[in-house]
């Protein structure tokens, strides 16, 4: 899928908006993911067709076990597709080796998890800096300052995860995910372990990342209220996308 949009850029200010064709930054074609329980094949994804445009924010909703997390792991390159195609920024993940997918993940994808998944031995600063280290460009103090300031983490950088609240931990996780300016931010129920107040803070931050910085965001959620922060909502059921039909 590609769409044609009118874009008013600075160079064309005062003139007719320029027509541009946007290619999806994320695209799946007949995507299948099968898990093996002994000799039995259990399909988690059954031919998913899914597109996300650059700068778009998409919430994926659906009941437990419908394949939302599997979809996230496959499009994030953490799991290999069983059948079908996955394109991330023009790269076909389905033909890539594990090492190639690791490299792509390092440079183009950021993850935020439900349980924060911070490294317990490191401080907040260490958790964010290690992402920069793995990325390979070394510690960028300017970028680090911008991100931590934006997420309100300045005063908590030397605290370990065990010394921080859930909301703070999730903000550190978001900082870690975006510190290397990934093309796509994938969030797996990021508010699932948070109270309402902290959920709103995290969702607002994801919205700001999308609106202010143009960050492409795909979020999985159970929470219907969370979808209000997103451009588009996609529903899943039984391993497929059921557009227009509420899953619950």
Q: By CB under 8 A, name the binding residues for another protein.
A: 73, 76, 78-79, 99, 102-103, 105-107, 109, 111, 113, 117-122, 126, 129-135, 139, 176
- C-beta of 50 vs 113, nearer to another protein: 113
Q: How far is the CB of 200 from another protein (least distance, A)?
A: 25
Residue 211 CB, shortest distance to another protein, in Å, is 25
Look at the alpha carbons of 164, 165, 168, 173 in this order and tell me if their dihedral is positive or negative.
positive
CB 52 within 8 A of CB 220: no
Q: Give Cα 237 distance to the centre of its chain.
A: 20
Strands of the chain (E only): list them.
3-7, 18-22, 26-37, 40-52, 57-61, 83-88, 91-92, 109-112, 184-188, 216-221, 232-237, 240-241
List phi, psi (to 5°) of 96: -90, 150
DSSP 93: G
Q: How far is the CB of 139 from another protein (least distance, A)?
A: 7
Query: Which CB, 106 or 143, lies closer to another protein?
Result: 106
Residue 74 or 240 having the CB closest to another protein: 74
Nearest distance from residue 144's CB to another protein, in Å? 12
**Is the Cβ of residue 85 or residue 135 nearer to another protein in the bound state?**
135
């Amino acid at each position: 899928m590609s769409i044609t949009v009118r874009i008013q850029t600075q160079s064309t200010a005062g003139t007719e908006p320029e027509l541009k064709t946007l290619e999806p930054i994320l695209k799946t074609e007949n995507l299948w993911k099968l898990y093996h329980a002994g000799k039995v094949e259990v399909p988690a994804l059954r031919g998913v067709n899914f597109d996300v445009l650059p700068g778009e924010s998409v919430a994926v909703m659906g009941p437990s076990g419908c394949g939302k997390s599997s979809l996230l792991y496959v499009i994030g390159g953490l799991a290999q597709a069983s059948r079908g195609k996955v394109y991330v920024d023009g790269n076909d993940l389905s033909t890539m080796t594990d090492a190639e997918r690791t490299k792509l993940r390092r440079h183009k994808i950021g993850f935020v998890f439900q349980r924060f998944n911070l490294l317990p031995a490191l401080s907040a600063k260490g958790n964010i800096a290690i992402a920069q280290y793995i990325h390979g460009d070394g510690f960028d103090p300017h970028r680090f300052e911008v991100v931590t300031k934006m997420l309100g983490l300045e005063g908590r950088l030397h605290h370990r995860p065990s010394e921080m609240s859930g909301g703070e931990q999730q903000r550190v996780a978001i900082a870690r995910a975006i510190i290397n300016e990934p093309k796509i931010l994938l969030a797996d129920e990021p508010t699932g372990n948070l109270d309402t107040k902290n959920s709103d803070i995290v969702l607002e931050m994801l919205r700001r990342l999308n609106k202010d910085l143009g960050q492409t965001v795909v979020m999985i959620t159970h929470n219907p209220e969370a979808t209000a922060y997103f451009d588009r909502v996609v529903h899943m059921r039984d391993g497929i996308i059921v557009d227009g039909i509420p899953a619950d």
